[in-house]
């Protein structure tokens, strides 16, 4: 067993144009002042990192990491959700996802995909330069428009979609392997990898690639009514990153799991700040500790009700209270007796 590292905080939802949230040093100082000891960095925001430079210059990485360390923090991971999303985009979403890409690439899906693949490779090398071993990301989606199909899906459509998804990701996964870094897919609605079954379908297509790992976030499973504790039992060996984000599902006579046409405030399933929802974090931290999870517990704020600064302050304390400092002794050691092979045989009556 190992004590989970933390608390960390994902900076993406806190960045803004107002101090102290408008540049890396000041937002890190703010996070440290709340008690966080780690920061997860969104690599799509140039205020946080120059990803290409981090991939190409160890000196840049040393100086960049030194700035974060000077604030009393460590880097937990480099997050690549936006770039991973753009590895695979169904044409129905081209216009919306073009907003995630550089302006010069908009209207050119092929160039956008090539850019995303290169960005992922930069993230692999940058993570290696920084001494990191996990990189949270999204899988992207070619199949989501056909998730609940009418008319009926053509035979073989799903299989073809996963073959193409694997074809795009295999070169990326291989490069991550060269760099000694895991890609940690956040299993998430609207991604082709949105539950355990789809993750396993993808694994088969990438030949159970050792770098095709997982970011665990129970909030997405609450909204799908999936057993998020049993999920850990199934996939704990692949879980290499962990988001602490709460959620609640309040079914009504008018709305169930497909509440997406309502605003977040009025959905049956909605995200909440840690401790304000229905997620059993005590059991989650216990299971992850039992299975020897070696990574960070990182707070992600996506609450529809609570102010983000309050969510961050309370979330830091929440994670601290849930991290289990592992024991180095058994509770019944006091009643033990010394033994050796001969003594054990005597106890068993075989000598």
Convert the pLDDT of each residue in 251-274 to its tens digit.
Answer: 899 998 877 789 999 999 999 999
Distance of alpha carbon 246 from alpha carbon 185, whole angstroms: 19
Residue 246 has pLDDT above 80, yes or no: yes
Residues in contact with 339: Cβ distance below 8 Å, sequence separation at least 6, in sequence order? 347
Give the tens place of pLDDT for each residue, 271-296.
Answer: 999 999 999 999 999 999 999 999 99
Residue 330 has pLDDT above 80, yes or no: no
So what's the pLDDT on residue 232? 98
So what's the pLDDT on residue 338? 76
Continuous segment of H or E residues that includes residue 150 = none
Residue 310 has pLDDT above 90, yes or no: yes
Name the nearest CA neighbour of 174 among 121, 128, 218, 135: 121
Distance of alpha carbon 23 from alpha carbon 17, whole angstroms: 9
Which pLDDT band, with edges at 50, 70 and 90, does 337 fall under?
confident
So what's the pLDDT on residue 90? 98
Domains, the chain, with CATH or none: 5-348 (3.20.20.150)
What integer best gives the mean pLDDT of the chain? 96
So what's the pLDDT on residue 188? 95
So what's the pLDDT on residue 351? 66
- What is the 3 state secondary structure string of 235-297? HHHHEEEEEECEEEECCCCCCCCCCCCCCHHHCCEEEECCCCCCCCHHHHHHHHHHCCCCCEE
Name the nearest CA neighbour of 299 among 336, 327, 271: 271
- 3-state SS assignment for residue 214: strand
CB atoms within 10 A of CB 77: 30
Distance of alpha carbon 181 from alpha carbon 175, whole angstroms: 9
Continuous segment of H or E residues that includes residue 215 = strand 212-216
User: Phi, psi (5° rounding) for residue 21?
Assistant: -95, 10
Residue 299 has pLDDT above 70, yes or no: yes
Who has greater pLDDT, 343 or 55?
55
Name the nearest CA neighbour of 240 among 178, 292, 316: 292
Residue 341 has pLDDT above 90, yes or no: no
**Whole-model pTM?**
0.95
Who has greater pLDDT, 327 or 120?
120
So what's the pLDDT on residue 203? 98
Q: How confident is the model over 186-212, as a mean pLDDT?
A: 97
């Amino acid at each position: 067993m190992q004590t989970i590292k933390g608390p960390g905080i994902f900076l993406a939802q806190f960045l803004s144009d107002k101090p102290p949230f408008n540049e890396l040093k000041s937002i890190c100082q703010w996070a440290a002042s709340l008690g966080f000891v780690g920061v997860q960095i969104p690599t799509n925001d140039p205020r946080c990192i120059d990803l290409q430079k981090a991939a190409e210059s160890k000196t840049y990485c040393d100086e960049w990491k030194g700035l974060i360390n000077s604030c009393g923090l460590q880097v937990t991971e480099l997050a690549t959700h936006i770039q991973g999303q753009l590895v695979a985009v169904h044409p129905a979403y081209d216009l919306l996802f073009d907003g995630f890409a550089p302006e010069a690439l908009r209207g050119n899906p092929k160039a956008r995909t090539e850019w995303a693949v290169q960005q992922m490779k930069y993230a692999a090398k940058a993570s290696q330069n920084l001494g990191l071993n996990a990189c949270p990301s999204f899988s992207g989606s070619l199949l989501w428009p056909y998730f609940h199909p009418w008319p009926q899906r053509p035979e073989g459509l799903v299989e073809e979609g996963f073959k193409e998804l694997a074809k795009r990701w295999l070169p990326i996964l291989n490069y991550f392997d060269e760099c000694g870094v895991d890609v940690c897919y956040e299993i998430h609605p609207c991604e082709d990898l949105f539950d355990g079954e789809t993750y396993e379908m993808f694994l088969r297509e990438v030949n159970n690639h050792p770098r095709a790992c997982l970011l665990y976030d129970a909030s997405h499973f609450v909204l799908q009514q999936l057993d998020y504790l049993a999920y850990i039992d199934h996939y704990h060996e692949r879980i290499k990153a962990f988001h602490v984000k709460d959620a609640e599902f309040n079914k009504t006579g008018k709305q169930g799991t497909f509440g997406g046409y309502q605003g977040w405030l009025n959905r049956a399933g909605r995200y909440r700040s840690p401790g304000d929802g229905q997620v059993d974090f005590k059991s989650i931290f216990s299971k992850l500790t039992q299975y020897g999870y070696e990574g960070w517990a990182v707070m992600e704020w996506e609450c529809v009700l609570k102010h983000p600064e309050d969510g961050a302050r309370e979330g830091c304390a929440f994670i601290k209270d849930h991290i289990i400092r592992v024991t180095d002794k058994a509770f019944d050691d006091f009643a033990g007796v010394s033994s050796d092979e001969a003594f054990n045989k005597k106890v068993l009556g075989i000598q």
